Amino acid sequence: MSEERGVYELRLGLYASQEEAEKIKERVAALLCPDPDHAPPCPVPWSMLLLSEDHLDEPDAYAELVEQAKIEGRPRP
């Protein structure tokens, strides 16, 4: 495995309300940085962005997720 570093993007689609998505975002941030008050720098620099469906570059990127939620009977947020 190469030791060369670069930028990677990890995508996670959620079928949730905005409130639920914000809570999950906070939990993921806590996984990446369990001590937000630590002295810089982070061992692995990171950033996070939460986008609503209206702002996706590919509007149908999570069509299967929406279909799964419909099948499972979860109401649309």
* pLDDT 10s digits, 24-65: 999 999 999 988 889 988 888 899 999 998 898 888 899 999
**Non-local CB neighbours of 56 within 8 Å, separated by 6+ positions:** 62
Domain ranges, ordered by start, for the chain: 10-48+56-77
Please tell me the distance from the alpha carbon of residue 16 to that of residue 45, in angstroms, as a whole number: 27
pLDDT, residue 73, reads: 86
Q: How far is CA 30 from CA 6, 33, 48, 67, 74, in A?
A: 22, 5, 12, 30, 27
For the cut 90, the answer to whether the pLDDT of residue 3 exceeds it is: no
For the cut 70, the answer to whether the pLDDT of residue 77 exceeds it is: no
Please tell me the distance from the alpha carbon of residue 35 to that of residue 71, in angstroms, as a whole number: 39
More confident call, 21 vs 36: 21
Name the pTM for this structure.
0.77
